[in-house]
Amino acid sequence: MQRPPVGDDLPVARHFVVEPEARAAQLADARTDLEAVVEMRGQPVTHVRFEHERLEAPFPERGVAAGELLEVGDARDLEPDQVVRVVRDALGVRLGESDANVRAEAEAAHQGHSTAVNELSTLLRERQPCVVLTGAGISTESGIPDFRSPTGIWAQYDPMEYATIDAFRRDPVKVWEFYGLRLDTLAKAEPNAGHLALAELERRGLVSAVVTQNIDGLHQRAGSREVIEVHGSIRTARCLACGEQTPLDRAMPRCPRCGEIMKPGVVMFGELLPAEAMERATELAREAGLLLVVGSALEVYPVAGLPEETMSAGGAVAIVNRGPTGYDGRADLKVDAGAGETLSTLLRV
């Protein structure tokens, strides 16, 4: 939705309000007040806490003032007592048309999450040792884009041009231009509540190790000590010509030994995973009383096969992930929620 031109002589509220589309700007009995309005956008929105101010301007037929539309990304992120009002059609903004079931749905969602966290807490204490397997879903909460979602990195960049070992050998400068952008993002990212909670669980003796598909180093920065990086790390660079490995402190470094352009220390398509890291991850999965999967859809093998190792050895599998995974029907517990909210709540149970 676009902000239409507003004359300088009309006072406009500084807070956000809902803007109807242009074809429905004439609303016979719409009014502005201090209650919140949210437009349903394809998926149920169960609760919201937004504010907007009254506008005291002579808008035609008391139409809702133009502004910016704020949307709820996931209703489960808020508490039931944050419900004010929700309407299903922003083009028919009679503010009395709220959804009668909104609060009940919010309370049910909140109660369901609380119950799942309690079950996860029980598993964590009864099925030791616990090994955690993390994927991109934990780092997206730090502002790091994932790869495979509709808005992920591969929606903008063809992985065959930027993320294969053949692409690097063919044009290392082009590949480094792509990784240079990622380095900027990673440099600004900070560990989030999920990373910090896992580090605290390790300090309490409830998590023995973290196996991660992520290359960002946020687990280590959060304080986790036993971290196995099965997809490599963006913190290092390696020379394909002579094997030299160095810390990565700038984009496109040259090898201090032979002068060749070094490769990022991440595993590219067409490369084998680090043998030592993968062997250690498999060993940990087999020994785990509980494998806790956080923020991974379990789509990329061989790492996605680690739950099988745990289950075959008699261990339990719990999954915390927004959206489905390949093991939802076989896991002992699935929590469809964010990593930060779930793991930080787990600390208080």
Please list the active-site residues.
231
3-state DSSP assignment of residue 319: strand
Nearest CA to 298 among 272, 321, 314?
A: 321
Q: Which residues contact 348 (CB under 8 A, 6 or more apart)?
A: none
- Residue 189 · residue 234 · CB < 8 Å: no
Name the helix (H) or strand (E) containing 71.
Answer: none
Q: What is the rounded CA–CA span in Å between residue 128 and residue 245?
A: 36
Q: What is the rounded CA–CA span in Å between residue 227 and residue 285?
A: 13
Nearest CA to 30 among 84, 87, 72?
A: 87
The tally of CA atoms less than 13 A away on the side-chain side of residue 224 is 29
3-state DSSP assignment of residue 264: strand
Q: Which residues contact 50 (CB under 8 A, 6 or more apart)?
A: 16, 36, 37, 38, 70, 84
